[in-house]
């Protein structure tokens, strides 16, 4: 089974950079996904890592270290609309996604 940990809440200032960490324990690791979820809405895909290293996509980057069971999502140039929950989800083999509890990010002026 999987155990996925991420901070419950974070607060950051508009224009700043924030890093949201995720640690996981699993066997047969087959990818880690980050989703954004605004309150009352569906999770929206942000990024996918299966190999070690950094994946960059505009203001968002995601990093993975498989040996450490660790990932982070980096959000640059924060905007108010980035206030949302950020969900770390792990895939083990061909099983469906297992989600962490999510990190609720508040962006303040």
Partner 1 sequence: EPEVTQTPSHQVTQMGQEVILRCVPISNHLYFYWYRQILGQKVEFLVSFYNNEISEKSEIFDDQFSVERPDGSNFTLKIRSTKLEDSAMYFCASAGLASTDTQYFGPGTRLTVL
Instruction: Verify binding: residue 26, partner 1, rule CB under 8 A.
Output: no
Please, what is the minimum distance in Å from the beta carbon of residue 65 to partner 1?
19
- Per CB under 8 A, the segment of 18-26, 28-36, 51-59, 73-81 that binds partner 1 is 28-36
Cα–Cα distance for residue pair 62/7, rounded to 1 Å: 16
For residue 10, give the 3-state DSSP assignment. strand
Whole-Å CA distances, 107 to 1, 40, 84, 101: 33, 18, 9, 19
Residues near 7 by beta carbon (within 8 Å), at least 6 away in sequence? 20, 21, 103
SS3 80: helix
Per CB under 8 A, which region of 7-15, 44-52, 59-67, 69-77 contacts partner 1?
Answer: 44-52
Among 29, 60, 70, 99, interactor with partner 1 by CB under 8 A: 99
Q: How far is the CB of 14 from partner 1 (least distance, A)?
A: 26
Out of 64, 78, 87, 107, name the contact with partner 1 by CB under 8 A: 87
Is residue 69 close enough to count as binding partner 1 by CB under 8 A?
no
């Amino acid at each position: 089974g999987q155990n996925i940990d991420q901070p419950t809440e974070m607060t950051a200032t508009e224009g700043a950079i924030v890093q949201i960490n995720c640690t996981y324990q699993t066997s047969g690791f087959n990818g880690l996904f980050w989703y954004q979820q605004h309150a009352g809405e569906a999770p929206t895909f942000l990024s996918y890592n299966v190999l070690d290293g950094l994946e960059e996509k505009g203001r968002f980057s995601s990093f993975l270290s498989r040996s450490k069971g660790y990932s982070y999502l980096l959000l640059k140039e924060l905007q108010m609309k980035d206030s949302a929950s950020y969900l770390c989800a792990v895939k083990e083999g061909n099983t469906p996604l297992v989600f962490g509890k999510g990190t609720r990010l508040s962006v303040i002026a």
